[in-house]
Amino acid sequence: MTTHTWSGRFSEPVSDLVKRYTASVFFDQRMAAQDMRGSLAHAKMLARQGIISQDDFAAIERGMAQVAAEIEAGTFNWNLDDEDVHLNIEKRLTALIGDAGKRLHTGRSRNDQVATDIRLWLRDTIDTLDTLFIDFIRALLDVAETHAATPLPGFTHLQVAQPVTFGHHLLAYVEMLRRDRERFADCRKRVNRLPLGAAALAGTTYPIDREFVAQELGFDSVCQNSLDAVSDRDFAIEFCAAASLTMVHISRFSEELILWMSPRVGFIDLADRFCTGSSIMPQKKNPDVPELARGKSGRVFGHLMGLLTLMKGQPLAYNKDNQEDKEPLFDTADTLVDTLRIFADMAPGIRVKPEAMAAALKQGYATATDLADYLVKKGLPFRDAHEAVARAVRTAETKGCDLVDLSLAELQSFSPLVGDDVFAVLTVEGSLAARDHVGGTAPNQVKAAIARLRASL
């Protein structure tokens, strides 16, 4: 019979199935680095407070370095019998250094230990994500800059509405991603609080110094209630909520890439390395990466729902249910890290086809609003202008031409206010340049926005 760390009061061993069912070591071992960091900070505090000896602390430091080296080298023997990452590491440490290893857990429980590990792990992850957001935003800004003046039909209801520039369109996504970054930064504030010291649930009888441990581990503050400290996982839920919104944004962008790449639209092409062919149709080039990203948003939303449901019925304080927080959290983080990385990589390879965008603009009477605005500026009430332009559009439609192709006399038949200065507003370039304010699509505004955004990184 294997002796579990907690086995003293048990009269029979757990079955292999129960062992496998309750163990987390095969997924929580990825928090090993955080677990060791947390343990070292805890041990240092114990020695400083005279709760363990300096010799014990020195042994723990030495032993932990050996454990870390074994994990690094892949020679560490992760064992299902030792349930989770915490017990595996503690057991190996004790095998290496004896009694000092057994003193490490003084004034601590796995309950505050695991909460600390997750928070350290998530903080590292949020920091990684932030650099990936910056990479992706930078890549989008580069493409936006190249196409600050490239006209694209702007759509509402997926019908051609008004001209925008492709750069302006991309900057809409940059704004979304900036808010995503803010959300993660805000989430990080609540992640970055220290649970250690809460012990199992009620605190501990040893004269601990939680502030010292917090400082050692780079936490901003300590959790203020021991029951809450060991049982709260709302920081993880917040993370998944922020991740879900990011995936919503990436999914919307993906949908546009897919649409734009469709030969029926043909606005862009993606570099071959982000697409795949078909095993049966030789002509195909499929936008697999955006499609998968659109699809992967589903699993991230699912994890958010999973974690909300995991928490909702739990009484205080720690319950084993909480062990189920890790796989959804890890998968959410992995999915987001990979997705941001691949999009940062893919964005520079977006090949824009300005001719296709221009042709689509021509088909959609995209400057009709400009003609109405022109008439309003000449004194016509907007509703009358709207009506006059609607008639002009109908005529152009019958003739199979664009508004700008109608003659001056034809245009004047819809309103005598039309003068020969009308053609400047009917061109796409005129339409774009006229929207010259912060947030507008005029190319000079797009360039200014890009400069501001670059400076803000």
Q: Give catalytic residue positions.
A: 157, 278
- C-beta separation of 101 from 5 below 8 A: no
Q: Is residue 117 at the binding interface for ligand ARG, with CB under 6 A as the rule?
A: no
Which of 83, 136, 74, 128 has its CA nearest to residue 110? Answer: 83
Q: Is residue 320 at the binding interface for ligand ARG, with CB under 6 A as the rule?
A: yes
Q: Is residue 126 at the binding interface for ligand ARG, with CB under 6 A as the rule?
A: no
Residue that the structure tokens 């240092």 belong to: 44
- Among residues 14 and 356, whose Cβ is nearest to ligand ARG? 14
Residue that the structure tokens 């940059």 belong to: 174
Buried b / exposed e across 165-198, counting CB within 10 Å, b at 16+?
bbbbbbbebbebbeebbebbeebbeebbbbbbbb
Region binding ligand ARG by CB under 6 A among candidate stretches 66-74, 132-140, 293-301, 317-325 = 317-325
Please give the torsion angle defined by the CA atoms of residues 415, 420, 426 and 427, in that order, rounded to the nearest 10 degrees.
Answer: 170
Pairing of strands 221-222, 193-194: parallel
**Under rule CB under 6 A, which residues in 40-79 are in contact with ligand ARG?**
none
Q: Is residue 122 at the binding interface for ligand ARG, with CB under 6 A as the rule?
A: no
- Pick one of 35, 56, 82, 84: the residue that binds ligand ARG (CB under 6 A): 84
Query: How far apart, in whole angstroms, are the C-alpha atoms of residue 342 and residue 344?
Result: 5
Tokens of 349: 């390879």
Work out the burial of residue 315: count CB atoms within 10 Å of its CB; fewer than 13 is exposed, 13-18 middle, 19 or more buried.
exposed
Region binding ligand ARG by CB under 6 A among candidate stretches 154-162, 188-196, 320-328, 424-432 = 320-328
- Among residues 81 and 130, whose Cβ is nearest to ligand ARG? 81
Region binding ligand ARG by CB under 6 A among candidate stretches 158-166, 246-254, 319-327, 428-436 = 319-327
Q: Is residue 270 at the binding interface for ligand ARG, with CB under 6 A as the rule?
A: no
We find the least distance from the C-beta atom of residue 24 to ligand ARG, in angstroms, to be 4
- Among residues 297 and 322, whose Cβ is nearest to ligand ARG? 322
- Among residues 287 and 328, whose Cβ is nearest to ligand ARG? 328
- Cα distances from 152 to residues 17, 136, 291, in angstroms, run 60, 22, 23
We find the least distance from the C-beta atom of residue 84 to ligand ARG, in angstroms, to be 4
We find the least distance from the C-beta atom of residue 296 to ligand ARG, in angstroms, to be 25
Query: How far apart, in whole angstroms, are the C-alpha atoms of residue 351 and residue 264?
Result: 16
Q: Is residue 110 at the binding interface for ligand ARG, with CB under 6 A as the rule?
A: yes
- Pick one of 94, 231, 322, 332: the residue that binds ligand ARG (CB under 6 A): 322
**Under rule CB under 6 A, which residues in 343-382 are in contact with ligand ARG?**
none
- Among residues 113 and 246, whose Cβ is nearest to ligand ARG? 113
We find the least distance from the C-beta atom of residue 201 to ligand ARG, in angstroms, to be 10
We find the least distance from the C-beta atom of residue 237 to ligand ARG, in angstroms, to be 16
Contacts with ligand ARG by CB under 6 A: the residue count is 9
- Pick one of 114, 144, 164, 346: the residue that binds ligand ARG (CB under 6 A): 114
Cα torsion angle, 171, 175, 180, 185, sign = positive
Q: Is residue 111 at the binding interface for ligand ARG, with CB under 6 A as the rule?
A: yes
Region binding ligand ARG by CB under 6 A among candidate stretches 107-115, 155-163, 235-243, 387-395 = 107-115
What is the chain's Cα-based Rg?
31
- Among residues 30 and 377, whose Cβ is nearest to ligand ARG? 30
**Under rule CB under 6 A, which residues in 323-342 are in contact with ligand ARG?**
323
Region binding ligand ARG by CB under 6 A among candidate stretches 110-118, 259-267, 281-289, 339-347 = 110-118
Contacts of 62 (CB under 8 A, 6+ apart): 97
Query: How far apart, in whole angstroms, are the C-alpha atoms of residue 201 and residue 118?
Result: 17
We find the least distance from the C-beta atom of residue 6 to ligand ARG, in angstroms, to be 8
- Among residues 4 and 353, whose Cβ is nearest to ligand ARG? 4
Which of 347, 349, 354 has its CA nearest to residue 267? Answer: 354
Contacts of 262 (CB under 8 A, 6+ apart): none
| x/- map, 284-303, ligand ARG, by CB under 6 A | --------------------
We find the least distance from the C-beta atom of residue 110 to ligand ARG, in angstroms, to be 4
- Among residues 84 and 370, whose Cβ is nearest to ligand ARG? 84
Q: Is residue 24 at the binding interface for ligand ARG, with CB under 6 A as the rule?
A: yes
DSSP string, 317-372: S--GGGGGGHHHHHHHHHHHHHHHHHHHHHGGG-EE-HHHHHHHHHHTTTTHHHHH
Q: Is residue 34 at the binding interface for ligand ARG, with CB under 6 A as the rule?
A: no
DSSP string, 54-107: HHHHHHHHHHHHHHHHHHHHT-----GGG-SHHHHHHHHHHHHHTHHHHHTTTT
Residues that bind ligand ARG (CB under 6 A): 24, 28, 84, 110-111, 114, 320, 322-323
